[in-house]
Amino acid sequence: MPFAPKLPAHGAEIPAIGFGTSGMGDVRAEHIAIALKAGYRHIDTAWKYRTERAVGEGIRASGVPRQEIFLCTKVSHEYLHADDFARSVDESLEKLGVDYVDLLLVHWPEKNTPLAETMAALAKAKRQGLARHIGVANFNIAMLDEAIKFCPEPLVTLQAECHPYLDQTRVIEACHKRGLVLTAYCPLARGRLIGDPVLADIARRKGKTVAHVALRWLMQQKIIAAIPRSSNAARIAQNIDVFDFELSDDEMARIKALARPDGRTANPAGRAPKWDV
Burial of 98 (0-12, 13-18, 19+ CB in 10 A): buried
CA separation (Å) from 94 to 89, 100, 108, 123, 152?
Answer: 9, 10, 22, 20, 26
The whole-angstrom distance between residue 65's C-alpha and the CA centroid of its chain comes to 21
CA nearest neighbour of 40 among 70, 20, 18? 18
CB environment 209-222: b (16+ within 10 A), e (fewer) = bbbbbbbbbbbebe
Beta-carbon count within 10 A of 23 CB? 14
- Which positions are catalytic? 49
CA nearest neighbour of 71 among 107, 39, 106, 46? 46
Phi first, then psi: what are they for 99, rounded to 5°? -90, -20
DSSP secondary structure, 109-173, as one string: --TTS-HHHHHHHHHHHHHTTSEEEEEEES--HHHHHHHHHH-SS-EEEEEEE-BTTB--HHHHH
Q: Beta 6-9 vs 12-15: how paired, if at all?
A: antiparallel
Phi first, then psi: what are they for 174, rounded to 5°? -65, -45
